[in-house]
Amino acid sequence: MTLPNDPPLQRIQFYVTTPYPCGYLDGRQAQSLIAAPHHLIDNRVYSDLIQFGFRRSGKFAYRPHCENCSACVPVRLPVSEFKPSRSQRRAWKHHANLTVQVLDLHYSEEHFKLYRAYQHARHTGGGMDADGVEQYRNFLAQSNVETVLVEFRENEVLKMVSVVDCVRDGLSAVYTFYDCSNPHASYGTYSILWLAEWCRRIQRPYLFLGYWIAESRKMAYKQDFQPLEALLDGEWHPLMKNSSKDV
């Protein structure tokens, strides 16, 4: 990995974690490359790291670094070229009654309750459904970079929260959790559409969507947002729907 000759970035060191069970592909072991020390990773440094496929969890910046697997592919959406599909336009219209508020990053008991309900509904047995307040705070309620919370409410009732990093050339969707009680809702899709529109309004070219994993049902949906770009061999390339990552 060749980093730009930028003094703040050159002060960062990288280390590889020991193997741990992969959270996306059953039966596989994962490893991560961690950027350290975390207190030096401010918005300027993180804006560079995200170009190399790094993501943020709490105060830590990381990217997958698995010895025998390259399934996790960083992806971003160039918002000026994005054209919503018919089903995405339906989701936008269906949730047009949601009110949205952008807030500074903070801990909220209301948010935590929604997060726990979401984990129990969507990720039972994955470990995160057992998260307590401390784990939630470490994961989503602290950051060394410019991070905001986006609240989505319907008739003043909290329906969804998106944790979003504001980087130099875009927005990065860190994590979104929502009310799963309505099987006809499309909150996840709506959040991406709303963030893409926000990118356009503030004239930032990209919405970073984390990792696309073709073999994971939880992560493959990102390919539905086109035209998507993938970081492959150190460069961003178009990733067409239903293509493999070997483009």
Candidates 173, 245, 247; CA nearest to 209 is 173
Query: Would residue 188 count as lying in a domain?
Result: yes
Query: Would residue 41 count as lying in a domain?
Result: no
Query: Would residue 1 count as lying in a domain?
Result: no
d(CA 209, CA 124): 23
State the residue range of the domain holding 121: 75-211+222-230
Is 176 within 8 Å of 162 (Cβ atoms)?
A: yes
Q: What is the DSSP string of 149-196?
A: EEEEEETTEEEEEEEEEEETTEEEEEEEEE--S-TT--HHHHHHHHHH
Q: What are phi and psi of 157, to 5 degrees?
A: -90, 130
Q: What is the largest CA-CA distance in the chain?
A: 50
d(CA 121, CA 70): 29
DSSP state of 108: -
Torsion-angle region of 41 (φ positive above 0: left; ψ -120 to 50: alpha; else: beta): beta
Rounded to two decimals, the pTM is 0.92
Query: Would residue 48 count as lying in a domain?
Result: no
Query: Would residue 68 count as lying in a domain?
Result: no
How many structural domains are present in the chain? Answer: 1
Query: Would residue 236 count as lying in a domain?
Result: no
Q: In this structure, what CATH number is given to the domain that contains residue 117?
A: 3.40.630.30
- Residue showing tokens 């729907």: 241
Full pLDDT tens readout for the chain, 247 residues: 555 566 677 789 999 999 999 988 999 999 999 999 999 999 999 999 999 999 999 999 999 999 989 999 999 999 999 999 999 999 999 999 999 999 999 999 999 999 999 999 987 665 554 578 999 999 999 999 999 999 999 999 999 999 999 999 999 999 999 999 999 999 999 999 999 999 999 999 999 999 999 998 888 889 999 999 999 999 999 997 765 443 3
d(CA 46, CA 90): 35
The predicted pLDDT at position 5 comes to 62
Query: Would residue 55 count as lying in a domain?
Result: no
Query: Would residue 16 count as lying in a domain?
Result: no
Candidates 210, 221, 205; CA nearest to 79 is 205
